[in-house]
Amino acid sequence: MAEKRKLKAVYLFPVIAGCGLVGASLGVCVNTIGIFFTPIANELAIGRGRASMLMTVYCIVQAVGGFLSPSLLRRFGIKKLIYAGSFVQIACTVLLSVCRSIHPMYALNALRGFASGVIGTVPVTIMINYWFRERVGLMTSIAMGFSGIVGAVLSPVIAGIIAAAGWRAAMASCAGWIFLLDLPALVLPLAVRPEDRGLTPYGRQPEQASVPAEGETGGRLYPPLVILTLAFAMCCSLTTAMPAHFPGIAEWRMHPAVGPAMLSVSMVSNTGGKVALGWLVDRVGTRKAASLFLVLIAAGALCLFFAGVPALLCGAALYGLCYSAATLAASTLSREMFGVENYGRAYPRTVLAGTATNAVSASVIGFLYDSSGSYRGALLLMLTALALALLIVHTAYIKAKKNRRTE
């Protein structure tokens, strides 16, 4: 029987471990952080913009960690990185719960962000792309989508802990969630490549050659495609900072009790959207699948201009698909533009650009609200970014086609 018909348990180890690692680094540390902005700002007597800088600092340093993770993987191996990264994540989260001013919180979140970048989305997607030649979109979407499940489940739990015992107790509880999510990666026998286990990638016969790099020319990545993939990731990642402000949007629209529900709904869309996008990518490609999702996200942003509870929940549900575009679509676009063997070179740059943009966006949204008392300007900014992303993804495929013709 062909190798691709034998989906052994070992092939699922990178996916299972990836679910936990992504769930900790994004689901806990990013997708629930918006719940902390208001109580931290109130206790420390600072503006919401300064509180949201916690997410900015985390995401910027996370991007640096992700960029460096391929070289660190080669030097230390996946297991040593996971042990060290998990310890830093947990220790910093505990220390965050006892801080009495915002500046040490920035430093701790920076350390936590670097650790999350080193063991988060970049190494997870690198492993999945090496282990699978078929069902890559689906397997990647399952790992990436777990961050949405974690966010959806923990958002109301953390909000309840804050209401009952304060944000410090809720922050301390996050350390426990991170440990539980990282545990599979800590105990499972992992390898970056299936060849390290004496196996071949799922869906590929041993005699088959590796997938060619369409965006590679003469040993280097084709610069126009690099620029376009970076621009696509930046536009999509800019939009992912908005859900963290859903509690603020609900308060702005005079429905503060709806805020946690908006976060939970968006996290459900985060998970379901990634699985749906992965399924679509495997069947129609990133170009068509990403285009559809960008239109749906824009529709969600438009819903948030309205004040009714149904509009807010509908908007949160559709807008939650932004995570799919920023993570999964950016990942599969890099793979389709540059090929599997060059994915480890191209994708970390995409993550660095996208995550840094997301980090800046998180604070920009907060400061826009502080200056105007409204989220209208931020929503218009999101719509502009989505329109640009739609234009960029089509331009990238046109450029890739022209590049192949000239080779």
pLDDT digits (tens, 9 = 90+) for 243-285: 878 888 888 888 888 887 888 788 788 778 888 998 898 888 8
Which residue reads 């502080």 in tokens? 370
| Cα–Cα nearest to 211, from 134, 98, 284 | 134
* Per-residue pLDDT at 405 exceeds 70: no
Note the pLDDT tens digit of each residue in 33-61: 888 888 998 888 887 778 878 888 888 89
* Per-residue pLDDT at 12 exceeds 50: yes
Lowest mean pLDDT among 111-115, 232-236, 258-262, 385-389: 258-262
Mean pLDDT of the chain: 85
- Distance (Å, rounded) from C-alpha 229 to C-alpha 387? 15
Note the pLDDT tens digit of each residue in 216-226: 444 467 788 88
Neighbours of 378 (CB within 10 A): 23
Cβ burial, residue 57 (10 Å; 0-12/13-18/19+):
buried
* Per-residue pLDDT at 91 exceeds 90: yes
- The pLDDT, as a whole number, for residue 380 is 93
DSSP assigned state of 339 = -
- The pLDDT, as a whole number, for residue 7 is 60
218 CB contacts (<8 Å, ≥6 apart)?
A: none
* Per-residue pLDDT at 213 exceeds 70: no
- The pLDDT, as a whole number, for residue 2 is 40
| Domains of the chain, each with CATH number or no CATH | 8-202+211-406 (1.20.1250.20)
* Per-residue pLDDT at 80 exceeds 90: yes
Region for 190 from its dihedrals, namely left if φ exceeds 0, alpha if ψ lies in -120 to 50, beta otherwise: beta
Residue, of 307 and 89, whose pLDDT is higher = 89
